[in-house]
Structure 1
Amino acid sequence: MAEEEVNYASVVFKSKKYRPTQARKEEETVYAEVKGQSKKTEETADTNAGVLLDKKANNRRLQYQQLACCLGILCVILLLGIIAVVVLYHRLSPESELMAANHNLTNLNNNLILANEKLRRDNNNLTVQLSNLTQNYTVSESKITNLNAEVQNLRAVNQQLETQRNNLTEEIQNMETDWNKLIIIQAQWSIDAYCPKTNDVSVRVCKACQNGWLPKESKATNCYAYNNAKAPDQKTWEEARENCRGKGSDLAVVHNEEEKDELYYYSKGTDGYWFGLRAEGGRWKWIDGSDLTVSYWTPQLPPTDGQCVMSVQNVGWRSVSCAEKKQWICKMKALSV
């Protein structure tokens, strides 16, 4: 290799300075010189190079052996690792994948179960809501039907009331007409009762009390009708009062000594006459609502409900059962003439 480098150097430098012919001569000379010198040093260089080459070769061979050994060991380790990885992969990977897949499927199944349960609850709630809405709709529809029926009934009742109102209006008008006629008749009756005609048809003589009522004096303030009925026609206290009301009067009431004397004077016979005093609520009460405050009655018995008072001539007042049948005295205001 040293020889090739020297030759290359001599060729490069010598060829650039001289002419070609001369350069060839000089090149040959230099080559000869170099060649001559190389022959001398070739022998020593060969011996040294041989020794060095052997050492280098030995070193390189040792290095190569060590490297090959390391590479072999490394390859064996890698191969064992690959084998172990492959074995572990074949052993563990399917189970792991299956476990992971099973876990995922389990989670998915659980999620589906939860979703299904939620859907079931939602469906139940919707079913209940639908049932409630249906029931409410049915109830509302029934209420509407009932309301419509009530409206129809109210319309019918209103029509009936309208008809009744018209009928009542007509009856009132008729009653007013009849009442006016009755007033005229009553007035005429009162005139005939209080002012009867004399033998002269054109002349009337008026008096304070009607025919059949006492007293007959024109200055009397009260008129009395003494109903001297026989035993079969006598009445209870209530019946006697109804009879008096039918005559436009009521049972006699006493508020002073004059009225007491009049009542006593006309109470003829021993059967007694009902007048307007009875026991009510533990008190003796007149039919006009006032209490018996003045003791016109001696001796006065304790008031007992169901007891009424009658007047007996020459005896006075007596308390007997209101259900007994007696004669009775009616009283009314006298006509001022």
Structure 2
Amino acid sequence: MMIVAALVLAGVFVGQVQGLRRAQELRKPRNMTTENNQVMELLAQVHKKRMKVAELKWTNSPEANLSRALWATDTYCYDKDVNGDLKCHNCPKQWSHYNGMCYKPETDLKTFDEAVKHLHVCSISQKVQGVEGYWVGLRHDGEVWRWLNACFN
């Protein structure tokens, strides 16, 4: 009887071990999916960091410095002095300098609504170029004139 009981207990134990193994096998795909997701996320982070390093290398490269210098020269140095040398200015061509700021008077006549639309298009362009600025408009509202300011960056 003892031997039968021992065999039954051994059978139960073996059954439990096999059940645990099956449970582990069933959990494996879920764990592997989680691990795969973690690996993919880490690879994406590595890719982003490599892109940032490449961007920083370009930003600090001689080519980038030369590109910025040429842009500045083209934008701000547009007149020649009496000797024929380029003369640089504080503001781009067609802009006015006053109290340390550059202003561009708009010479095309527009309705107020057209001017606002034009400002919106220009501000989008300025955002792409990384330029910050302000727009000031005067509007007649009934019997009162109002200054309207808009900041774009």
Question: TM-score interval w.r.t. the shorter chain?
Answer: 0.5 to 0.7
Q: Which residues of 2 match residues 1-337 of structure 1 at below 5 A? A: 123=8, 125-143=9-27, 146=29, 161=43, 168=50, 172=54, 176=58, 180-198=62-80, 202-215=84-97, 220-227=99-106, 230=110, 234-235=116-117, 239-252=121-134, 275=135, 311-312=137-138, 315-318=145-148
Please give the per-residue CA displacement for 1:123-166, whole angstroms capped at 9, x wherever unaligned: 3x5544332211112223455x549957x959x859x94xx75x
SS at match of 2:96: coil
TM-score (norm 1): 0.30
Q: Secondary structure, in 3 states, of the residue corresponding to 1:241?
A: helix
Q: Which stretches in structure 1 are left out of the alignment for 5+ residues?
A: 1-114, 253-274, 276-309, 320-327, 332-337
Which secondary structure does the structure 2 equivalent of 1:196 belong to? strand
One-letter amino acid of the counterpart of residue 192, structure 1: D
CA separation in 2, counterparts of 1:199 and 1:211? 15
Question: Higher relative CO (CA 8 A, sep ≥ 6), structure 1 or 2?
Answer: 1
Q: Using a 3 Å threshold, how does the CA distance of structure 1 residues 235 and 196 change in structure 2: closer, same or farther? A: same
Structure showing greater radius of gyration is 1
- Secondary structure at the counterpart of residue 190 of structure 1: helix
Q: Which has the higher strand share?
A: 2
Q: 1:214 to 1:197 in 2, by over 3 A?
A: closer
Aligned residues of 2:95 and 2:104 also touching (Cα < 8 A): yes
AA in 2 matched with 1:129: F
Tell me: CA distance 1:201–1:157, structure 2 relative to 1, closer, same or farther (3 Å). Answer: farther
The number of residue pairs the alignment matches comes to: 138
CA contact 1:213–1:223 (8 Å) conserved in 2: yes
Change (3 A) 1:221 1:249: same
> Per the alignment, in what secondary structure is the counterpart of residue 189 of structure 1?
helix
Query: How high is the sequence identity, in percent, across the aligned residues?
Result: 14
The runs of 5 or more residues in structure 2 that have no matched partner are none
Hey, what's the Cα distance between the residues in 2 that align with 1:198 and 1:131?
Answer: 95
Alpha-carbon distance change, 128 to 193 in structure 1, aligned in 2, over 3 angstroms? same
